[in-house]
Amino acid sequence: MLLATLLLFAAAEPPAARLAAELDRSEHAFAQNESKDEQWVQLKPRIQAVLDRARRALVGKQLWAALEDLGKTGASWIRR
């Protein structure tokens, strides 16, 4: 019951606020990863750029642009 209530509450939360929270989570996880793996080191600046872009889009109330960039931070398709 409590879980269902929490899920309902989360679903009703304004999308911009939820995206901001998810972006905070992504940025935190990104900052925590101090791996020296060569591929990770190469990818880091690109992921950082996408995170920064998502933040700018969110501040500019460009919800769709922020949402797609948030998705790209967890995927390999960060070229666009």
Partner 1 sequence: MFQVRWKAAAPKLIERDAKALARRWKDRPAALRAIAEAVEGQSLPLLHAAPAYAAATEPQAGFFYLEQAKAMADFADLVASLAVRTRRAAPPLRSWTPELQQVQDRVIAAFQPPRSIDQHSDFIAINAQLKLARELDSGGLPAGALYTWLDAVQQFGTLEVQDPDEATRAKLGEQLAAARAELGAARRDDSIALLFVQRAEVRAGQGEWTRVRAIVEHVLPAYRAAMEGRPAGQRTPREEVRITLVRWPYT
Site membership for partner 1, residue 3 (CB under 8 A): no
Smallest distance, Å, CB 76 to partner 1?
A: 6
Q: Beta-strand (E) ranges in 1-80?
A: none
Distance CA 32, CA 58 (A): 23
Q: Is the dihedral of CA 34, 38, 39, 45 positive or negative?
A: positive
- Residue closer to partner 1 (CB basis): 51 or 53: 53
Site membership for partner 1, residue 45 (CB under 8 A): no
Q: Are 58 and 16 in contact (CB under 8 A)?
A: yes
Binding site for partner 1 (CB under 8 A): 10-15, 18-19, 22, 53, 56-57, 60, 62-65, 67-68, 70-71, 74-77, 79-80
